[in-house]
Amino acid sequence: MWVVVGLGNPGRRYAKTRHNVGFMVIDEVAKRNEIELREKESYLVGKGSIEDMEVVLLEPLTFMNRSGLAVRAVMAKYNVQSVNLIVVHDDIDMETGRLKIRERGSSGGHRGIESVIESVGTREFIRVKIGVGREEGVAAEDYVLGKFRKDEGPLIKEAVVRAADAVAAVLKDGVGKAMNKFN
């Protein structure tokens, strides 16, 4: 079994912001695979299969810096190890729309990833990162909580579709082959 997590912030105010591309990808994966997400405690969760693999899709409903609590709870509930964890999130150090898969690593300053590392006790989990760019003169915290510009819309829509494809590729072919295809 796998747990696939999209990071974001709860509520309408943040729905279309850069920090919520992880939620956008989980919504796309759920739609494609007819997996219904239901609210439980402090997260949305749905169970189903992708590429003949049993998966649990997860969107923590805590704010970004507490995302790891839901991840740890769901991993414990389904007895999933970190090698079968995929976390989808935004990355301001990559150009808008760029996609990158990593097997492990540091948080890179991303508070959601910091929370996951702290909560699951390891850096050894797969990340699907979506570039949201960066704007000079704007604090990172303000930038990621901003909505995409009109010209970024098509890039992000395409990136969300490609990220959903990347998740399926990791499940079907393994992380190495998926990295070769998408990085």
Residue at 35: amino acid letter: I
Cα–Cα distance, 46 to 14 (Å, whole number): 21
pLDDT value at 141 more than 90: no
- For the chain, list the domains and their CATH numbers: 2-182 (3.40.50.1470)
Which of 134, 110, 114 has its CA nearest to residue 123?
114
In this prediction, residues 92-111 reach a mean pLDDT of 94
Other C-beta atoms within 10 Å of 47: how many?
A: 14
In this prediction, residues 85-99 reach a mean pLDDT of 96
User: How does pLDDT run across 11-31, given as a tens digit for each residue?
Assistant: 999 999 999 999 999 999 999
Residue with structure tokens 């003169």?
137
Residue with structure tokens 């300053």?
109
pLDDT value at 140 more than 90: no
| Residue 136's pLDDT band (cuts 50, 70, 90) | confident
pLDDT value at 94 more than 90: yes
pTM (whole model) above 0.85: yes
Which of 68, 89, 84 has its CA nearest to residue 23?
89
Active site residues: 19
161 Cα distance to chain centroid: 13
pLDDT value at 97 more than 90: yes
Q: In what order do the strands lie in the sheet with 85-91?
A: 38-40, 43-50, 53-60, 2-6, 85-91, 126-131, 99-102
Predicted pLDDT of residue 138:
87
User: How does pLDDT run across 29-71, given as a tens digit for each residue?
Assistant: 999 999 999 999 899 999 999 989 999 999 999 999 999 999 9
